[in-house]
Amino acid sequence: MFQLKAAVGRILQLGLVLWAVVTILFLMFRLMPGNPMAAYIDPTFTEEQQLALMAQFGLDKPLWEQYFIYLANLVQGELGQSFRYREPVAERILALLPNTLILTFTSLIIAYVFGVLAGAYLAWRRGSAVEQAAIPVVLTTRAMPEFWLGMVLLAIFSFWLGWFPAGGTRSAGTDHGNLLGLYTSADFLSHLALPALTLAIYSQGLPLLLMRSNMLDVMKEDFVTMARIKGLSNWTVVVRHAARNALLPVMTSFAIAVGYQLQGNVVVESVFSWPGLGRELVNAVSASDYPLAQGAFLMIAIVVILMNLIADLLYALLDPRVTHV
């Protein structure tokens, strides 16, 4: 009963957050300077065309009416039609989302596996020469701008050594059938390597440092001392006792990082010509393509909200002391 109530409250809360996001998005793009009609200005652009376009985009109606039409459509799962591409927003987003998700998850998994292991190792080797050399390196990689890092990797591994292609998800003109065929092909993986590596290098700092400081905290706790007193090996103490407990906040940060990463992809997608949602978002905003920009942002917001929810639930699962009252 208590659980059910909590769950219902949680869902209502989600609905409210979504409504607020939707409303802010709607107003934000319309208040920004710019005009979606600007893309059509041409010597042969007649008054008749201008009126037809306004009507087609629904921009001839008052703002409040546009807002209610937008809400009503959203409730029916309808994201509208892109001004720029004249095609349903949902279709465009669905075409690009898989590319963004695979890049995001690949890079984050690499970053977190590496970060957790390296963080635990550095905590274990606290005070050693290795740690003293490693921390500045980690801080440096975290401070490097993504586009710069991307360009450097591109210059070295693509233009100079020629090991990896410079952009896209596949070689020009190759057909891999469906998405599964594409994602499992060597061609795709070689295209994925550099953008994923760029993002992974950029993102590994957070889990690494988080893991390390958690480990240092946990290692001071009584149960670790207890384990040592029991005479367990150093390895067992670090891995089975300390690391498992130190992992909790890192898991949460992973879930949240997925959301952030979707935005962070913008830069990397442009550097590596990756056909993803981030690039689309930037284009949509600069072209005042309201429906597309709203749709893309909404999609990212939903992923962020969902990942937060998952983080909360996961936490409760991993650590029974945490409950939602």
Partner 1 sequence: MKLIHKAALATALATLFASAPALAGDPIRTIDLFTRPQAAQPQEFQSVQLIAQEWRKLGLDVNVRVMPWEQMADIVWYQRDKWDVTAWQMVGRPERSDPDEIVYNLFHSSTAEKGYNFIGYSNPEFDAVAEAQRVEIDEAKRKQLVYKAQEILAADQPNMMLVHPKSTFAYDKTVWKPDSVVNQSGIGIRNTWTFMSLEPLGDQRDIIVNSGDNVQAVNPLYISGGVDSWVTELLYDRLARVGPDGLPKPWAAESYEWKDDKTIEVKLRAGMTWHDGKPVTVEDVKFSFDAVVSGEAPMYKPFATNVAGIDIVDDRTLVFHLNNPAASFVTSSLAKINLIPKHVWEPVLEDLKTKEENAESYQEDTPIGSGPFRFERWLTNEEIVLSANKDHFNAPKADRWILRIVPNVEAALGMLRSGEINFIGEFSGDPQVLIDAAEADGDLNVVSTVDIGFRYLAFNERRAPFNDAAFRRALSAAVDRRLIVKAAFKGFAEASNSVVSPALEFWHDAAVVENFKAGQDVAKKILEDAGYTLEGDRLHYPGDQKEEYAQ
Task: List residues binding partner 1 (CB under 8 A).
Answer: 33-50, 52-53, 56, 81, 84-87, 92, 95-96, 151, 154-155, 158-159, 162, 165-173, 175, 270-273, 275, 279-280, 283, 286-288
Task: Work out how close the CB of 155 gets to partner 1 at its nearest, in angstroms, rounded to a whole number.
Answer: 8
Give the residue with the Cβ less far from partner 1, 3 or 44. Answer: 44
Task: Work out how close the CB of 185 gets to partner 1 at its nearest, in angstroms, rounded to a whole number.
Answer: 14
Task: Work out how close the CB of 203 gets to partner 1 at its nearest, in angstroms, rounded to a whole number.
Answer: 21
In Å, how far are 18, 66, 71, 115 from 63, measured between CA atoms? 20, 5, 12, 48
| CA count, 13 A, side-chain hemisphere, 103 | 34
Segment holding 298, helix H or strand E: helix 290-318
Rg (CA), the chain: 24
Q: Where are the alpha helices (DSSP H) in the chain?
A: 2-31, 47-57, 63-75, 89-124, 129-143, 146-153, 179-183, 186-203, 205-219, 222-229, 234-236, 244-271, 277-286, 290-318
Spatial contact of 283 and 276, defined as CB atoms under 8 Å apart = no
Give the residue with the Cβ less far from partner 1, 99 or 253. Answer: 99
Give the residue with the Cβ less far from partner 1, 11 or 39. Answer: 39
In Å, how far are 103, 151, 269, 291, 323 from 198, measured between CA atoms? 10, 9, 11, 31, 37
Phi, psi of 162 (to 5 degrees): 70, 25
Task: Work out how close the CB of 270 gets to partner 1 at its nearest, in angstroms, rounded to a whole number.
Answer: 5
Task: Work out how close the CB of 259 gets to partner 1 at its nearest, in angstroms, rounded to a whole number.
Answer: 22
Give the residue with the Cβ less far from partner 1, 122 or 268. Answer: 268
Within 8 A by CB and 6+ apart from 30, the residues are 63, 66, 290
Give the residue with the Cβ less far from partner 1, 23 or 50. Answer: 50
Give the residue with the Cβ less far from partner 1, 119 or 195. Answer: 195
Task: Work out how close the CB of 69 gets to partner 1 at its nearest, in angstroms, rounded to a whole number.
Answer: 13
DSSP β-bridge partners for residue 81: 88
Dig out the tokens for 272 from the structure: 């590596």
Give the residue with the Cβ less far from partner 1, 272 or 315. Answer: 272
| CA count, 13 A, side-chain hemisphere, 79 | 23
Task: Work out how close the CB of 168 gets to partner 1 at its nearest, in angstroms, rounded to a whole number.
Answer: 6
Give the residue with the Cβ less far from partner 1, 204 or 270. Answer: 270
Nearest to 89 by CA among 305, 300, 289: 289
Task: Work out how close the CB of 102 gets to partner 1 at its nearest, in angstroms, rounded to a whole number.
Answer: 14
